[in-house]
Structure 1
Amino acid sequence: MKLIRQILESFRFAWQALRSNITRTILSLLGVTVGIFAIVAVFTIVDSLERNIKESMSFIGDKVLYVQKWPWGFGSGEYPWWRYFQWPNPNYREYKYLYDNLENATAVAVMDFKGNTVVKNGSNSMNALIQGVSYEYNQISDVPIAEGRYFSPIETDAGRQVAIIGADIAETLFPGGNPIGKEFKLSGNRFVVAGVQVKKGESLVDFGGAPDTKCLIPYNAFAKLFQSGRPDPDIVVKGYESDEGLYEVEAEVTGLMRTMRGLKPRDENNFSINRPEAAAQAISGLFGVLTLAGWVIGSFSILVGGFGIANIMFVSVKERTNLIGIQKSLGAKNYFILFQFLFEAVMLSLVGGGVGIFFVFLLSFLPLGSLDVVLLPQNIALGLGVSSVIGVLSGIVPAMLAARLDPVEAIRAK
């Protein structure tokens, strides 16, 4: 109890010292405020950007493999496009072969896209992204249905002219009405609305097209309308939740594709198996650079703030030397004097860090387009933690000097 009482007394002395020198306190904490603001703001914006982009990538699915002609390249070395250009495109027969023979996959789908296609209902029309998909597509990618239903197996196998439309398409083609069961025209053909997707709203980045302006139709219906030339679909295979299971599926897909294409043992693969994790790693690497830049920028400000706090603490020790002598003569222990100045430095740093975090909180209310900035608890904890460390490092030397003062010499000091 005695130790706790002395610690609380040290806090009281520190608080009184800070209140008695408001101007000096404010000037001292500016450096820490700017530094913590820079670090926490960068972390907050980076976290918000990363979350927004990963949400936008949800359409590509989780634990999935994309069998495609072109491998995904993210700037790592040379990209020999001239070699990939000669490879054949995946086709519907290969999809059916994988669908019928894969043993370890949980779902297999085929899909293709057609952009800038007019959808029309009477005098209402708009450009939409048309995506042809097979039945198991909703097991690979999220298709949230607000109204209506998803495709049936018979509709996808027979290539029925039914569609699941985005919220913006529904609002444009069927203003004020329920679109379920109603018809609209797509490339001169009548399609019936089976479902409407949940409205997503604006997003910073929309990989694969904005869901609100996307129209899903059965793949066989899509092939009849748009694949009169050379088809270039994507085959998507969903594995199990574990990475080991996904590697097993990848090995199985590779073997089946090589068999289907008649490749000899020494022939290299003439297809690509792309994993979304590669895109996620590339994005994480980019944000890692931004985070490092935030640390560098903030560190300079924090360094200046730390020296400012240390300088103020040396001045405080000098000004209160006589008071330290009186406290020691009345029985104050060295650790009491040390805690008194150390807590003062930590409190000064924490106040500066708290102000910087408050400015970041205000930043989250600014309109930044489709970017939703959220100050996460871990970033608040990071800011307060860094502030505490800076306070300890800045105040430890002045506090030790104060604790080691001789009480007789301290009382005589002027």
Structure 2
Amino acid sequence: MKLNKLLAELPLLLESIQTGIRSLSVNKFRTLLSLLGITVGIYSIITVFAMVDSLERNIRDSVQQLGNNVVYIQKWPWGGGGEYPWWKYLNRPEPRYEDFEKLSRLVRNYDKMVYAFGLTATAKAYGNQVEGASVLFTSHDYLALWNHKIWQGRFFTEQESRSGAPVCVLGYDVAEGLFPQMNAVGQRIQLKGKKLTVIGVFEKTGKSLVGNDNDQNIVIPVNFGRKFVNENAINGSFIMVRAPENVTLTEFKDELRQNMRAIRRLKPKAEDNFALNEISLISSSLDQIFRIVTIAGIFIGGFSILVGGFGIANIMFVSVKERTSEIGIRKALGAPRRFILGQFLTESVALCVVGGLIGLVLVFATLLIVTGALEFPFYLSAKNIVQGVVISVAIGLISGYAPARSASQLDPVEAIRQGN
């Protein structure tokens, strides 16, 4: 019964929609003003959402490169929250290569283990130079843990790592800067007065929001670095250990802590003089940060939407006032209230949807420009598009309901008299 009633009213609903859309094409200037308000609103809020989503996606992708089941043994703990008691960690010893060797023998079951330390230096070759390159001295399993891909050549072997062979693997930008017109593999570079042979070049990865930019890296066997860098002066060294699949990270960290305490010869009641860091520490901090940023984005964009919604409501009230006579004639000819209500709601929703779509196009163009300028990818996702359309429809219904209801409740005789 309800279905038959709905089908019977469908032609009336379609006619109402057609009438509403037709009236928009007649009042072009008013339509343009209405579109402008909602376009600015949708542009503002979806731009905020898209940028926040893009930043979150890129940061989380960067964080995932660090490995979900990898423990970082370092001097300093990550995060901390509140008052960070840096004075407790300042005098801790840095992880040393000897710690790495002892730990590799003591830990019963692990997948991969890497030791690394770094510095910043200027690389030179054939009269070209790259300043501020990140030089990383590391062991041979570095590539397996970081999942960086080799574009040309190869990575150094375990034997080259242990013997401290004078070889290196260049980041893409470093290779381009030193050897712009030739294949870098097989060439020699100079670094702090030492000469090294290039055996590989990393695939271009782009900028990372977490850790070093791999395109600016120079990776060298750790024992080569120990030959000319005073190990007592090293800051920021770390040991990376990946847990095997059959061991939980909690159990694995307990074993690492026990062995590191034994290596450091700490007494039972003494505090750890090292930190065991993992990705969950960063992830929990990121969740809080993006929650705050999202709320701020909704707050900022909400004001723009509110202004646009008031603009739509005001213009729809003006439209009702101008068309009072027309409304009275339609009602006198038998048009029911729902027809008038549907007509003005259709106008309001159509205005908001068209304005929202224009706003989405502008957001897409803005993100393309920002991506090109910053060389950092910003995305307009399907989620953002759906958000824009849904918000547009919602604003159209909310803003247009009061004017549409007032129009539907007009007395036909009074409406015709007022119109004249």
In 2, distance between residues paired with 1:309 and 1:206? 41
- 2:3 aligned residue: none
Equivalent in the alignment of 2:239: 235
Q: Which amino acid aligns with 1:353?
A: G
> What is aligned with 1:155?
160
In structure 1, stretches of 5+ residues that fail to align are none
Match of 2:354 in 1: 351
Q: CA deviation at 1:179?
A: 2.9
Deviation at 1:146, TM superposition (A): 0.5
Work out the CA distance in 2 between the residues paired with 1:380 and 1:134: 46
Deviation at 1:115, TM superposition (A): 1.0
1:377 aligns with 2:382: yes
Assess, with a 3 A threshold, how the Cα gap between structure 1 residues 101 and 333 changes in structure 2: closer, same or farther: farther
Q: Distance in 1 between matches of 2:182 and 2:309?
A: 63
Partner of 2:17: 11
Alignment of 1:110 with 2:111, yes or no, is no
Whole-Å Cα distance in 2 between the matches of residues 380 and 270 of structure 1? Answer: 50
Find the aligned partners of 2:318 and 2:187 in 1 and give their Cα distance. 80
Residue in structure 2 matching 1:119, options 116, 120, 123: 123
RMSD between aligned alpha carbons? Answer: 2.9
> How much does 1:169 deviate?
3.1
Does the residue aligned with 1:229 lie in a helix, a strand or coil? helix
- With structure 1 as the length reference, what TM-score do the two structures score? 0.87
* Structure 1 counterpart of 2:93, one-letter code: P
Q: Name the SS for the 2:373 alignment partner.
A: coil
Q: How is 1:278-297 mapped onto 2 (pairs within 5 angstroms)? A: 278-297=281-300
Report the counterpart of residue 304 of structure 1 in structure 2: 307
Q: Tell me the equivalent position of 2:38.
A: 32
Which residue in the other structure is 2:228 paired with?
225
Does 2:212 correspond to 1:209? Answer: yes
TM-aligned CA deviation for residue 313 of structure 1: 2.6
Q: What's the counterpart of residue 90 of structure 1? A: 95
Cα distance in 2 between the residues matched to 1:230 and 1:38: 50
Alignment-mate amino acid for residue 18 of structure 2 = R
Identical columns (%): 41
1:194 equivalent among 190, 199, 205: 199
What's the secondary structure of 2:135's corresponding residue? strand
Say if 2:327 and 2:340, in contact at 8 Å, map to a contact too: yes
- Structure 2 counterparts to residues 159-174 of structure 1, below 5 A: 159-174=164-179
Within 2, Cα distance between the matches of 1:168 and 1:412? 77
Task: Say whether the 8 Å CA contact 2:48–2:301 is kept in structure 1.
Answer: no
Who is 1:391 aligned against? 396
Deviation string, structure 1 residues 224-273 (Cα, Å, up to 9, x no partner): 2213434452011223689x933332222222222332334432222111
Q: Distance in 2 between matches of 1:230 and 1:302?
A: 56
Q: 1:69 aligns with which of 69, 75, 80?
A: 75
Q: 1:411 to 1:141 in 2, by over 3 A?
A: same
CA contact (8 A) 1:112 1:234 kept: yes
Cα distance in 1 for residues equivalent to 2:378 and 2:195? 43
C-alpha separation in 2, matches of 1:310 and 1:231: 66
TM-score, with length taken from structure 2: 0.85
Distance in 1, matches of 2:302 and 2:135, equals 49
How many matched pairs? 409
The answer to whether the Cα contact below 8 Å between 2:79 and 2:285 also exists between their aligned partners in 1 is no
